[in-house]
Structure formats: C-alpha cells, structure tokens
Amino acid sequence: MTKKKVKNKALVLKVAEAESKDVGRGIARVDPKIFSQIKADVGDAVLITSQRSLGQEGKNKEAVARIMPLYPEDRGKNIVQIDGIARENAKVGIGERINIQKILYQDADALILSPLSAGLEFQEEDGEYLAQILDGTPVLKGGKIRATFFGSKTQDFFVEDTHPEGAVLIKPFTKIKIKGAVRKDRRAVGTTYEDIGGLEREIQRIREMIELPLNKKLLELKVTMDNFREALKEVEPSALREVFTEIPNVKWEKVGGLEQVKQILKETIEWPLKHKEAFDCIKVAPHKGILLYGPPGWGKTLLAKAAASETGVNFISVKGPELLSKYIGESEKGVREVFKKAKQASPCIIFFDEIDSLVPKRGAASESHVIERVVSQFLSELDGIEELKGVIVLGATNRIDMIDPAFLRPGRFDFLLEIPKPDLLSRLEIFKIHTEGKPLDLDAELNYLAKQTEGCTGSDIELICKKAAICALRENLSKKQDYKKIKISFKHFNTALQ
C-alpha cells in the first residue's frame, strides 16, 4: 500500500536538547498546546526540516520522530526537544529553528540497515533481536538510527531502504536485514576491479583519475555548490593533518547537571562560531578563552568533548606536558605550532588538558628557564599583536592556584568556570545517563541512589553503575540463565555502593 502525501500545517520551533532518557528513542517533545495546531495526537509521527541546510540533491535534510508532550517545567518556551541523532539527520543545532509538521506513517514490514562503525558483528538472525530493541522507533530512508544493547553499548545504523516507502515505524515483526559487504561475480576473462579484495575506496579514486578523463561526456558536466559541499567532507584540512583529533561523539544531553556551565559554554563557544554575522552586527568580539577548573572526575573533559561535538568545528586536543621538551627552544616552538595550525584551520577549538603543567607560576627555580619562556610564548599567542580570529582556547585544570596569574585576567581567559560538586538533581541526572539502555529492575530506585551518593562525582556514579551491571551479570552466569533475562536490581546497586 502506498503512503498518501498530505499537506499538514507546519510550525516553526526552536531546537533544544533532549532529556537523557529520550536519547535514541526517536522522540520529539513539544508543548501540548501545539498538538492541536498541527492536528497531531500523542505518538503521531512528525517531520522535522531545516530550511538552511540542503542535502546532496538540493533538498532539505529531514528527520522523523514521534511527538510527545514536554515536561511541565519546559512548557511555554516555543521549543522542540530532539536528541543528537535527529539533529544530525535534520542537520540542525541547538538553538536553531526548524519546521515541524504531522506526517503519515505505516508499520515497517522490512528494513535494510548498514552499520556505521566497526566493533560489533551481526548475523542474519540478529535482525529479530534488533527489531525488538528498536520497537517503536520511526525512521526514514537515508536517515540514521541508534540501537542500545546491554551494558550501554551502542551501534549506529544507516537506513538503506524501507518497505513500505516513506515514514515507517519499527515493530517487533519488522524483518531487518543487516547489509554486509557486497559480493560480485567474477568475470570469465581477464582481471577486473571485482577481483581485487577490499580497497573499494582506492579503486574508486583510480577510476576517477584514469577512466573519467577519457569520457567525452566530462566536458558537458557542471560543478555545483553541492559538489563542493561533498568534497569538503572528503578533504581533511592540511593544517591539521599532523595534530588532527577526531571530534568526540558526546552530546550535551550526555552531561548530567551543570546547566549553568553548559549554557555559558554554548554562548561563548557555539554562538561565535555558528552566528558570526550576529556578533559582527552587535560589534562584540568573541571571547578568547575559557578555563574549567575543579577536582578530578567532575566533568571538565566531558564538557570540552560535548562543546567540540555540538559545535562541529575543527578540534585540537593537547595534553599540557606533551609540549614540554628538554631541548632549549623546542617547548616554545610546540606552543607556536599549535596556535599556527589552529589559525590556518579556523574556526577551531584548542583544548589544553592539564594546562597547569604548561603555564605554572613564573619565578620557580629553573636552570634553563623553560617554564618562563613557555608562559611568555603562550601569552604572546593568546593576547599578542596578531589578533586571534576564529580560534577559541579551552583549558582544564585541577589546580587553578598553580596557574600563572597573568592568564587569569579578562582578555585572556575571560571565563573562569568552577565545576560545582554534583547536587541531588545532578546526581539523579547522571544516574539516568549511565543507566540508559540498561535492563533495570523495578526496584532500582534512582532517586534513592542519588540521595545515598552524597559527595560522589560523575566518575564515581559511572563506576557504581558499571559495578552494579557486573554484579547482575555475575549472578546470571552463576545461575546459567539466559543473558537476555538479566535485570539490574537494587541489591546490585547496594553491593556496588559498599
């Protein structure tokens, strides 16, 4: 049966981050007052589009989700909460505006999925298990979805095809096929590209360089802006080839609590890079640096990863001690090279972890005066004659008292953000994040656990959740039960807390 296309009214809403428990479930939460405006009911499918981002064929990128009501504290803000997967499918960021409208959907009879990352191996019979995990997830052909397995192990898939076409909802009876390597029959005579095992990408490049120039139709081709967009995805900035760091896959909703700190990082890092024209209009120069400080395990590095992931710009990560050298002049050269690469590849974020080891207080006894020269070089790069355009410096330290005072004034590190100890609500949010996707028993009361972990950091809570899962697994293996029946109960968390 073919899906009828119906023109429904679209509304413009602002994108907000999803609740941690909604990540990977294909949910879009809006104000209940909006339901009647788009003629939708709870659980209906909605189409999310952004007018600013165009796909390879000049069409808007799209995401599909099931509409659910916002929680009372978030209502009246004219927002839609969607997770990072939906934002990536629609090519939108937090704070941007999207169109949302009701769309008809059907139950999925069959799906063809392709894994987007290595690590897990799938057999033909795993399709039934995947259908159970993804039950209730809406998908579109060409989109991405995420499956969460036991122990919070996740796997992202690309939706190659759906049957029927259009928006579909995965059900337990949906037949899911995992698309593997395509095997082609060998030709009877001669050696062909298909005879070469693997090297598909290299073969494609060779064909483009050798076969295409021999084709006369090449003269009739026209290079469009979409072609340049696709080329940008393939070409890595040459300035970053020596220091290039893959952008972490950490979204804001994976950071429990710390709402005030996250908002400041969005305003100081995301906004100047995503809305440069707006800053030029109001004649405000972006901040040069932000310093995160606090005891170990309180989320400093996690915040830096989330900022880099959500911004999507080039990202250079530097461990403070790795720039120091015993040879005279090499340490200063290392600092110069990092800033030089960042300027060439701007917009760019430089993240200095353990920055206190790189720029400690001057005046300490040192025969070679290496520290003094490194600090002076860092200061000249950060606040020298040459303006630092399109580069934001993000530092993290456990010992702010050891950093040279010259760095702590406005104009260098404008924001000194102390990471607070997780309060009750923050600990509850962290528990929700680290138990997401885990098979919790009904007696695993997270509110009680949050109260019992006073003084624990985010790292401590993550370890508690891991220990509780291992306790449940140990009990299951000792009883030789089906691992699919594993349940993490309160007694397992209680054991982990001891």
The span from the CA of 285 to the CA of 279, in Å, is 7
On whether residue 189 sits in a domain, the answer given is: no
Residues 391 and 450 in one domain: no
pLDDT(192) > 50: no
Q: How confident is the model at residue 80 (pLDDT cuts 50, 70, 90)?
A: very high
Residues 412 and 312 in one domain: yes
Residue 114: strand, helix, or coil: strand
Number of domains in the chain: 4
Domain boundary pick from 147, 178, 209: 178
pLDDT in tens, 280-318: 888 887 778 888 888 887 778 888 888 877 777 778 888
Residues 158 and 297 in one domain: no
Residues 334 and 481 in one domain: no
Residues 431 and 446 in one domain: yes
Question: Which H/E stretch holds residue 102?
Answer: strand 97-102
Residues 260 and 404 in one domain: yes
Residues 81 and 131 in one domain: no
What pLDDT is recorded for position 297?
77
What pLDDT is recorded for position 30?
93
What pLDDT is recorded for position 108?
92
Residues 40 and 133 in one domain: no
Select the highest-mean-pLDDT range: 140-144, 434-438, 475-479. 140-144
Q: Report angle CA 217, 222, 225 to the nearest 5 degrees.
A: 150
Residue 182: strand, helix, or coil: coil
pLDDT(99) > 70: yes
The span from the CA of 406 to the CA of 412, in Å, is 8
Residues 396 and 434 in one domain: no
pLDDT in tens, 9-24: 778 898 888 887 888 8
Higher pLDDT, 362 or 368: 362
pLDDT in tens, 385-411: 667 777 888 888 888 888 888 888 877
On whether residue 225 sits in a domain, the answer given is: no
Residues 146 and 133 in one domain: yes
- Ranges of beta strands (E only) in 103-143 are 106-107, 110-115, 138-139
> Per-residue DSSP letters for 36-93?
HHTT--TT-EEEEEEEEEE-TTSPEEEEEEEEEEPPGGGTTS-EEEE-HHHHHHHT--
On whether residue 188 sits in a domain, the answer given is: no
pLDDT(426) > 70: yes
On whether residue 491 sits in a domain, the answer given is: yes
Q: Check which CATH number belongs to the domain holding 147 and give it.
A: 3.10.330.10
Q: Check which CATH number belongs to the domain holding 453 and give it.
A: 1.10.8.60
Q: What value does the mean pLDDT of the chain take?
A: 78
Residues 268 and 389 in one domain: yes
Which residues constitute the domain of residue 160? 107-178
Residues 45 and 128 in one domain: no
The model carries a pTM of 0.50
Instruction: Please state which of the ranges 61-70, 330-339, 357-366 shows the lowest mean pLDDT.
Output: 357-366
Higher pLDDT, 150 or 64: 64
Domain boundary pick from 418, 447, 465: 418
pLDDT in tens, 340-353: 888 877 778 888 88
What pLDDT is recorded for position 245?
54
Residue 106: strand, helix, or coil: strand
User: Strand 314-319 and strand 348-353: pairing?
Assistant: parallel
Read off φ and ψ for residue 308, nearest 5 degrees. -65, -40
Over range 40-56, report the average pLDDT. 77
